[in-house]
Structure 1
Amino acid sequence: MAALSLSNVDTYTKKKKLSHDHEGKGKPVFQEQWITQKLDHFNGADSRVWNQKFVLTETYYRAGGPVFLMIGGEGPINSGWIAMNPRSAWLTYAKKLGALCLMVEHRFYGDSRPMADLSTENLRFLSSQQALADLAHFRTAIAKQRGLTNSKWVAFGGSYPGALAAWSRLKYPHLIHAAVASSAPLHATVNFSEYLEVVWRALAAENPECPLLVKKAFDTLQERIKDPNNYDNITKDFNLCSKLQIQSEKDRAYILDALAENIMNTVQYNNDNIEFESALDTNCTIKTVCGVMSDASLGDPYYRFAAFVRLRTRTYLLKPCFKDLTYNANLQDLRNTSYSGPHGGGGRQWTYQTCTEFGYFQTTDSPNQPFGGFGLQYHVEQCQDNFNISAKTLYAGIDQTNENYGSYNIRATRIVFPNGSIDPWHALGITSSISDDLPAIFIKGTAHCANMYPARAEDLPQLTLAREHIFQLLQKWLKEK
Structure 2
Amino acid sequence: MARILQSSAVILAVLLPLVTGLGLFKHGRPKHGMLGAPLAKEKYNLPPDMWFKQKLDHFNDADLRTWNQRFFLNGTFYTPGGPVFLMIGGEGEANPVWMVEGAWMEYAKEMKAFCIMVEHRFYGKSHPTENMSVDNLQYLSSEQALADLAHFRTVIGQQLKFDTNKWISFGGSYPGSLSAWFRLKYPHLVVGAIATSAPVQAQLDFPEYLTVVRDSLATSRVGSKCNDAIQAATHDIESLMMHMTGWEALAKIFNLCSPLNGTSMNDVANFYETLAGNFMETVQYNKDNKAFEGGSNNITIDTLCDIMANDSIGTELSRYAAVSALLSDGECVDASYDKMIADLRETSWKSEASAGGRQWTYQTCTEFGFYQTTDTDHQPFGRHFPLSLSIQMCEDIYGKQFNKTTNQAGVNFTNTNYGGRDIVAFNIVFPNGSIDPWHALGITKSTDMYTAIFIKGTAHCANMYPASPDDPAELTQARTQIRDTIQKWLSQ
Are positions 1:110 and 2:101 aligned together?
no
* 1:52 matched residue in structure 2: 69
The alignment of Structure 1 onto Structure 2 pairs a total of residues equal to 463
- Alpha-carbon distance change, 346 to 29 in structure 1, aligned in 2, over 3 angstroms: closer
Q: Deviation string for 1:417-461 (max 9, x for gaps)? A: 0000000000000001022x4010000000000000010111111
TM superposition score normalised by structure 1: 0.92
Match of 1:9 in 2: 32
Tell me: CA distance 1:225–1:253, structure 2 relative to 1, closer, same or farther (3 Å).
same
The corresponding residue for 1:399 is: 412
Q: C-alpha displacement at 1:18, in angstroms?
A: 12
Does residue 341 (structure 1) correspond to residue 358 (structure 2)? The answer is: no
Write the deviation string for residues 389-424 of structure 1: whole angstroms up to 9, x where unpaired. 121111001000000000001101110000000000
Deviation at residue 224 of structure 1 after TM alignment:
1.5
Confirm or deny: 8 A CA contact 1:8 1:73 kept in the other structure: no
The one-letter amino acid of 2:355's match is G
Q: Cα distance 1:478–1:322, how it changes in 2: closer, same or farther (>3 A)?
A: farther
Aligned to 2:314: 299
Using the alignment, how far apart are the partners of 1:13 and 1:439 within structure 2? 25
- What corresponds to 2:246 in structure 1? 230
C-alpha separation in 2, matches of 1:454 and 1:71: 18
Question: Does residue 477 in structure 1 map to residue 492 in structure 2?
Answer: no
Corresponding position of 1:156: 170
Asked if residue 416 in structure 1 is aligned to residue 429 in structure 2, the reply is yes
Q: CA deviation at 1:21?
A: 4.7
The alpha carbon displacement at 1:19 in A equals 12
Distance in 1 between residues matched to 2:224 and 2:285, nearest whole Å: 20
Q: 1:105 to 1:19 in 2, by over 3 A?
A: farther
Q: 2:139 matched to 1:143?
A: no
Residue 115 of structure 2 aligns to a residue whose secondary structure is: strand
The one-letter code matched in structure 1 to 2:424 is R
Q: 1:398 to 1:112 in 2, by over 3 A?
A: same
Contact conserved, 1:433 with 1:440, CA < 8 A, in 2?
yes
Whether 1:386 aligns to 2:393 is no
Question: How many percent of aligned residue pairs carry the same amino acid?
Answer: 48
Q: Counterpart in 2 of 1:186?
A: 200
- Measured after TM superposition, the shift of residue 385 of structure 1 is 1.2
**Partner residue of 1:66?**
83
Alignment-mate amino acid for residue 137 of structure 2: L
Amino acid in the other structure paired with 2:254? F
2:265 corresponds to which of 249, 260, 263: 249
- 2:477 maps to which of 465, 471, 477: 465
Matches within 5 A, 1:162-311: 162-206=176-220, 207-275=223-291, 278-311=293-326
What is the Cα deviation at residue 312 of structure 1? 2.1
Greater RCO between the two (CA within 8 Å, min separation 6)?
A: 2
2:96 to 79, 88, 99: 79
Deviation per CA, 1:286-317: give whole Å up to 9, x if none: 00111001100112211111111112222xxx
Q: Deviations over 1:90-114 (max 9, x none)?
A: 1010010011111110000110000
In 2, Cα distance between equivalents of 1:94 and 1:3: 33
Cα drift, residue 244 of structure 1: 2.8
Q: Equivalent residue of 2:390, what SS?
A: helix
2:374 to 356, 364, 389: 364
- The 8 Å contact of residues 204 and 211 in structure 1, kept in 2 or not, is answered as yes
The alpha-carbon deviation at position 184 of structure 1 amounts to 0.0
2:60 equivalent in structure 1: 43
DSSP 3-state at the match of 1:383:
helix
Q: Deviations over 1:101-150 (max 9, x none)?
A: 11110000110000000000100000000000000001001101000000
Distance in 2 separating the partners of 1:29 and 1:12: 18
The farther-off stretch of 336-345 and 45-54 is 336-345
What residue identity is the alignment partner of 1:81? W
Partner of 1:429: 442
2:199 aligned counterpart, secondary structure:
coil
Rounded to whole Å, the distance in 1 between the matches of 2:421 and 2:160 is: 36
Q: Secondary structure at the match of 1:125?
A: coil
Structure 1 residue ranges without an equivalent (≥5): 23-27, 315-319
Give the conservation status (yes or no) of the 8 Å contact 1:2–1:264.
no
Change (3 A) 1:21 1:54: farther
1:31 maps onto 2:48 in alignment:
yes
Report the counterpart of residue 90 of structure 1 in structure 2: 104
Gapped regions of structure 2 (runs ≥ 5): 1-24
Q: Give the letter aligned to residue 9 of structure 1.
A: H
Q: After TM superposition, which residue ranges in structure 1, 4 or more long, deviate above 6 angstroms?
A: 10-15, 17-20
Q: What residue identity is the alignment partner of 2:331?
A: C
CA 1:97–1:3 in 2, change beyond 3 Å: closer, same or farther?
farther
- Using the alignment, how far apart are the partners of 1:68 and 1:8 within structure 2? 27
Match of 2:340 among 330, 337, 345: 330
SS at match of 2:454: strand
Counterpart contact for 1:12–1:280, Cα < 8 Å: no
The one-letter code matched in structure 1 to 2:353 is H
